[in-house]
Amino acid sequence: MKYKVVLLALVLAGIGSFSQAEPIPIPAAPEFEASSYVLMDHASGSVLAQHNPRKHVEPASLTKIMTAYLVYKALAQGDVHLDDAVSISEKAWRSVGSRMFVEVGDKVPLVDLLRGMVIQSGNDASIALAEHLAGTEESFAEMMNAQAKQLALEDSRFINSTGLPAEDHYTTAYDVALLSRAMIHEFPEEYRRYAQKEFTFNNIRQHNRNRLLWKDETVDGIKTGYTTTARYCLAASAERKGMRLISVVMGAASPRSRMINSQALLSYGFRYYELHKLYHAHEALIERRIWHGESKFLQLGLDHDLFVTIPRGRSHSLKAVVHVEPDIMAPVSEGDELGTIKITLGDEEVAEEPLVALKSNPKGGLWRRLFDFFIRLY
């Protein structure tokens, strides 16, 4: 598609209020022994550090992030409810590994199973929830894979709801970060459970395995994982001064290693990068002439807020240029893509997003179309 470049760069929203301090030299990101890892900004999706980010690895209990996501989605849609009495099957009761100690035949409130899965990493709770949503854990795995496609998790495949070792059950550090980002963004109220440090069920008190919750008060999630083949995994998230980061470490050598190195990634990101919200969703960024429409002009903008994550002290180097179609003809529907906006930092492109019509503009009446026809003709 041909675009006309608008030579006058747009003024970045609020850019004058950003710090113009001297840029901080950015050192290399932390390096350590692990199968793979990723550090991602939650708002912008920018990857700030990575090692083998798309390597297929066993997710262990990080699988339960997807299990929880599907439960949260079902809750939001009204398909299940927190006070549902969930029947505990023999399969759930017999599950191995971490458990919340439900009993076969019990009716357990769904909210307790959620706590048992999120806080205690209960495999019995995960299977019970999967069966409640889909009838069988196998059918639930199909739901997991369908959701993975919708979230563009291109290197993930799920066989069960727990993360217990299974052939062809895998993900990547990058996909776990994407999934975590979606979960936090879409279900912020449900996400709060991940910060809970302990949970008691059947008079058994168990602690959250994410030791970063005790080490760093800004950390509020997300999930640990371990099997002998996956080794030690941790997806963590922290928020400081309005900036949230997500770290994912896969295949660390020990619980201490996954905790220390997750902390190192988060500290690196907060120390050397800053987040800026450049434009609001549905804000008019540019107005263009539209031909043969009811209205003569059409406003273009973004269908979502635009954030960028950049090295500290370099906001003054941000620039924006819009590219729009040279001739916009009615009819146009709200949301139609009619151009792009590119954000650069020096010579580096840091974001590119489509510009969309903020309102529909149908074809105008006969006189409007005739008038525009002769204007364009001459």
Active site residue 36: no
Active site residue 61: yes
Q: How many angstroms separate the CA atoms of 46 and 55, rounded?
A: 18
Rg (CA), the chain: 25
- Give me the half-sphere count of Cα atoms (radius 13 Å) on the Cβ side of residue 123: 18
- Give me the half-sphere count of Cα atoms (radius 13 Å) on the Cβ side of residue 330: 22
The identity of residue 349, as a single letter, is: E
Catalytic residue among 44, 46, 64, 237: 64
Whole-number Cα distances in Å, 289 to 126, 298, 307, 364: 55, 6, 28, 14
Active site residue 121: yes
Catalytic residue among 44, 121, 156, 237: 121
| Bridge partners, 249 (sequence order) | 37, 234
Whole-number Cα distances in Å, 276 to 12, 13, 351: 10, 9, 12
Catalytic residue among 36, 44, 46, 61: 61
Please say whether the beta carbons of 280 and 12 come within 8 A: no
Catalytically active residues are: 61, 64, 121
